[in-house]
């Protein structure tokens, strides 16, 4: 067994990842399949939307001036010469005194400039006047040809998909969804669903990491548990094809902590040991240019290291923001939050009556501290604690 000679600063690790990890290349997709993906290019509309004047109401396409003077006391008979339906226009012009029965969304016939609503024309007689332009959706009132629809970096929403399709955009270039390999190590672990017994425990980190990767819009491949054997771990790593690799457990300096040496053999390990609590045994390496994250086996440490380092990287690979994915609030501390200068602390807290109550700073293996907490506070490395009454930023889990 050996101790850590030194520990990297959190800020330096984040800077390394920003320098080494860039968004994945863009891929072309049909716009119907780009929901929640990140746009990699500026998209302009290839045509006007709508591409023609159309009815905004069911009724009669008329020349508005022909209805002037119509009222319930002086109904005006309509000379209906045809019908315009969605997808099948009337095909002829409307002359003075003429009308065309029309349905919502149907093209306006030439010569007509207004739609008299059906309820204003019972029995084929106009009982109200309609001014020119009324109840008509004009060509390009939604989008004009050549107009920018979206800029690069936009996370596409359902309505964005609808507009892309409506504008007739044929192909959209988006950032590819990151693929993430998840490897859990530990001879004492049972796969999810196994019943713990004696000194054998269920693997909580694997399912937690799968959920975290899904939250960050990655696609994960979960490998079978590796039983603390260097040859087995090497074999699994050589099979990984994802854009990033997460390895839970075996990251410290004990006799069975074989992950650092295997990563060094296959690539490089510029970071092993970080000045933070929990998660100090975490590390960051690269195999074939792909980032590899050494996440401690204790579940809170695993969660913390993921959120600090792996999560931002996975989001960045997919073209998303590296920022924390948690809602933030600023509130006063109900009591002092103790810490130690020289490291970054991840303090779980509760919010009670508008104040922040420290719940736990240590206890890397106590996963329930994160389920009982409302969120967490990051204590900067240069602080020895934060006094009661000071306002702190709380990252809320929900």
Q: Is the pLDDT of residue 1 over 60?
A: no
The sign of the CA dihedral 225, 365, 311, 34 is: positive
In a domain, 142, yes or no: no
In this predicted structure, what is the pLDDT of residue 3?
A: 57
3-state secondary structure 80-138: EEEEEECCECCCCCCCCCEEEEECCCCECCCCCCEEEEHHHCHHHEECCCCCCCCCEEC
Average pLDDT of the segment spanning 235-249: 96
Q: Is residue 159 domain-shared with residue 183, that is, in the same domain?
A: no
In a domain, 233, yes or no: yes
Q: Is residue 38 domain-shared with residue 166, that is, in the same domain?
A: yes
What are 66-81's pLDDT values in tens digits?
Answer: 999 999 999 999 999 9
In this predicted structure, what is the pLDDT of residue 251?
A: 87
Range(s) of the domain holding residue 119: 54-137
In this predicted structure, what is the pLDDT of residue 375?
A: 96
Burial per residue of 318-356, b for 16 or more beta-carbon CB atoms within 10 angstroms, e otherwise: bbbeeebbeeeeeeebbeebebeeebbbbbbbebeeeeb
In this predicted structure, what is the pLDDT of residue 56?
A: 96
Domain count for the chain, please give it: 4
CATH number for the domain including 200? 3.40.980.10
Q: Is residue 99 domain-shared with residue 119, that is, in the same domain?
A: yes
Stated pTM of the model: 0.88
Q: Average per-residue pLDDT in the chain?
A: 94
Cα(53)–Cα(283) distance, rounded to whole angstroms? 62
Q: Is residue 269 domain-shared with residue 309, that is, in the same domain?
A: yes
What are 189-212's pLDDT values in tens digits?
Answer: 888 777 777 788 889 999 999 999
In a domain, 1, yes or no: no
Q: Is the pLDDT of residue 118 over 70?
A: yes
In a domain, 189, yes or no: yes
What are 312-326's pLDDT values in tens digits?
Answer: 999 999 999 999 999
Q: Is residue 248 domain-shared with residue 295, that is, in the same domain?
A: yes
CATH number for the domain including 79? 2.170.190.11
What are 92-110's pLDDT values in tens digits?
Answer: 999 999 999 999 999 999 9
Q: Is residue 133 domain-shared with residue 87, that is, in the same domain?
A: yes
Q: Is the pLDDT of residue 256 over 80?
A: no
CATH number for the domain including 158? 3.90.105
Q: Half-sphere exposure of 116 toward its Cβ, with a 13 Å CA cutoff?
A: 31
In a domain, 145, yes or no: no
In a domain, 299, yes or no: yes
CATH number for the domain including 379? 2.40.340.10
Q: Is residue 38 domain-shared with residue 157, that is, in the same domain?
A: yes
In a domain, 322, yes or no: no
In a domain, 339, yes or no: yes
Q: Is residue 117 domain-shared with residue 227, that is, in the same domain?
A: no
Cα(251)–Cα(230) distance, rounded to whole angstroms? 12
CB atoms within 10 A of CB 143: 18
Q: Is residue 170 domain-shared with residue 182, that is, in the same domain?
A: no
- The token pair at 285 is 């390496």
Q: Is residue 128 domain-shared with residue 189, that is, in the same domain?
A: no
Q: Is residue 215 domain-shared with residue 253, that is, in the same domain?
A: yes
Lowest mean pLDDT among 3-12, 167-176, 282-291, 331-340: 3-12
Q: Is residue 160 domain-shared with residue 34, that is, in the same domain?
A: yes
């Amino acid at each position: 067994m050996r101790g850590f000679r030194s520990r990297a600063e959190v800020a330096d690790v984040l800077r390394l990842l920003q320098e080494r990890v860039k968004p994945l290349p863009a891929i072309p997709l049909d716009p119907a399949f780009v929901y929640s993906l990140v746009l990699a290019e500026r998209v302009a509309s290839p045509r006007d939307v709508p591409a023609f004047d159309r009815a905004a109401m069911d009724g009669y396409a008329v020349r508005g001036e022909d209805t002037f003077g119509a009222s319930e006391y002086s109904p005006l008979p309509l000379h209906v010469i045809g019908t315009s339906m969605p997808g099948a226009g009337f095909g002829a012009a409307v002359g003075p005194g003429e009308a065309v029965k029309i349905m919502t969304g149907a093209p306006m016939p030439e010569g007509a400039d207004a739609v008299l609503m059906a309820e204003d024309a019972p029995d084929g007689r106009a009982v109200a006047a309609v001014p020119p332009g009324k109840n008509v959706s004009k060509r390009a009132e939604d989008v004009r040809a050549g107009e920018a629809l979206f800029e690069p970096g936009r996370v596409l929403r359902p309505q964005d998909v609808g507009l892309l399709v409506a504008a007739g955009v044929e192909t959209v270039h988006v950032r590819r969804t990151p693929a993430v390999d998840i490897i859990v190590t530990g001879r004492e672990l049972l796969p999810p669903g196994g019943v713990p017994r004696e000194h054998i425990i269920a693997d909580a980190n694997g399912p937690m990491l799968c959920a975290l990767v899904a939250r960050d819009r990655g696609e994960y491949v979960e490998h079978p548990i590796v039983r603390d054997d260097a040859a087995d771990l090497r074999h699994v790593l050589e099979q990984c094809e994802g854009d990033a690799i997460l390895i839970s457990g075996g990251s410290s300096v004990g006799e069975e902590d074989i992950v650092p040496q295997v990563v060094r053999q296959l690539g490089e390990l510029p970071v092993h040991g970080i000045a933070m609590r929990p998660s100090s045994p975490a590390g960051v390496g690269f195999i074939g240019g792909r980032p590899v994250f050494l996440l401690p086996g204790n579940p809170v440490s695993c969660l913390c290291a993921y959120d600090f380092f792996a999560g931002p990287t996975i989001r960045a690979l997919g073209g998303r923001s590296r920022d924390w994915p948690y809602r933030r609030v600023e509130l006063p501390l109900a009591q002092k939050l103790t810490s130690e200068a020289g490291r970054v602390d991840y303090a779980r807290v509760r919010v009670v009556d508008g104040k922040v109550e420290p719940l736990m700073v240590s206890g890397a293996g106590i996963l329930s501290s994160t389920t009982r907490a409302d969120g967490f506070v990051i204590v900067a490395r240069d602080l020895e604690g934060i006094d009661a009454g000071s306002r702190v930023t709380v990252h809320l889990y929900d």
